[in-house]
């Protein structure tokens, strides 16, 4: 939301300031997103998508390469996210699971507060990372028919672009549990970077499945 800081300015001057501020933000975001595609160009599968002039994944072999990239990139995250200790798991159960159960599956103050904890971020991020890995592994290991393969890639895409997943990953990075080098895209604008990556999967992978 734009807040007027100087009431003495004319409307056209205020509008110009607003446009300039947002232009600077847009340029910074674009530069980050463009840079992010080069940041992760480490494997053949990644070179097939999300790059200027990338050919896309047109064959099952191409899609296996992309799946390999996902397995490596998110496997690196999974290896670094610590599992909850018994005391952490017990606290999260009492503050989140038990509170939801006692309230008929509805949020209350304690369960909602628990979602902001580092314990919750660890568990949620690890569970979803392992879901991404399992789905990418199934795509590669089981030769799915066209309909099932589209469904599997769509499921994978939905997990990658999930806003809450990005928020939990950034929280772990800010807490020092993940390093910048552990992430498949830069942590700055990580949510937008994951959305961009998901769009690449949709355009360069899913759209080419025949």
Q: Which residue has the tokens 């496997």?
A: 75
Mean pLDDT check: name the lowest of 11-25, 71-85, 135-149, 189-203: 11-25
pLDDT given at position 44: 64
Banded pLDDT at 165 (limits 50, 70, 90): very high
pLDDT given at position 186: 86
Above 90 in pLDDT, residue 15? no
- The Cβ-side half-sphere exposure at 40, using a 13 Å CA radius, reads 31
* Summary mean pLDDT of the chain: 82
Banded pLDDT at 130 (limits 50, 70, 90): very high
Above 60 in pLDDT, residue 10? no
In whole angstroms, what is the distance from residue 45 CA to residue 139 CA?
14
Q: Which residue has the tokens 């899609």?
A: 63
Above 50 in pLDDT, residue 205? yes
In whole angstroms, what is the distance from residue 183 CA to residue 59 CA?
27
Q: Which residues of 107-134 are buried (b: 16+ CB within 10 A; e: fewer)?
A: eeeebeebbebebbbbbbbbebbeebbe
Cα 194-195-200 angle, rounded to 5 deg: 95
* Pair 136, 185: CB distance under 8 Å: no
Residue 205: count of CB within 10 angstroms of its CB = 25
**pLDDT tens digits, one per residue of 18-75:** 444 544 444 344 444 444 433 444 456 667 888 777 888 889 999 999 999 999 999 9
In whole angstroms, what is the distance from residue 207 CA to residue 191 CA?
23
User: Above pLDDT 70, what percent of the chain?
Assistant: 78
pTM assigned to the model: 0.76
**pLDDT tens digits, one per residue of 181-204:** 999 888 888 999 999 999 999 999
């Amino acid at each position: 939301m734009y807040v007027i800081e100087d009431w003495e300015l004319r409307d056209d001057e205020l509008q110009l300031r607003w446009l300039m501020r947002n232009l600077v933000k847009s340029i910074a975001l674009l530069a980050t997103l463009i840079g992010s595609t080069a940041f992760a160009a480490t494997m053949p599968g990644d070179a097939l998508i999300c790059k200027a002039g990338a050919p896309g994944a047109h064959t099952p072999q191409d899609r296996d390469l992309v799946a390999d990239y996902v397995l490596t990139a998110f496997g690196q995250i999974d290896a670094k996210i610590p599992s909850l200790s018994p005391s952490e798991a017990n606290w999260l159960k009492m503050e989140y699971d038990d509170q939801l159960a006692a309230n008929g599956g509805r949020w209350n103050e304690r369960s909602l507060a628990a979602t902001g904890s580092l314990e919750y971020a660890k568990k949620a991020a690890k569970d979803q990372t392992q879901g991404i890995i399992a789905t990418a592994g199934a795509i590669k290991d089981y030769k799915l028919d066209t309909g099932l393969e589209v469904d599997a890639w769509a499921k994978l895409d939905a997990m990658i672009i999930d806003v809450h997943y990005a928020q939990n990953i950034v929280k772990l990075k800010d807490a020092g549990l993940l390093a910048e080098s552990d992430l498949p895209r830069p942590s700055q604008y990580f949510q937008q970077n994951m959305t961009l990556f998901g769009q690449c999967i949709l355009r360069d992978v899913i759209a080419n499945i025949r």
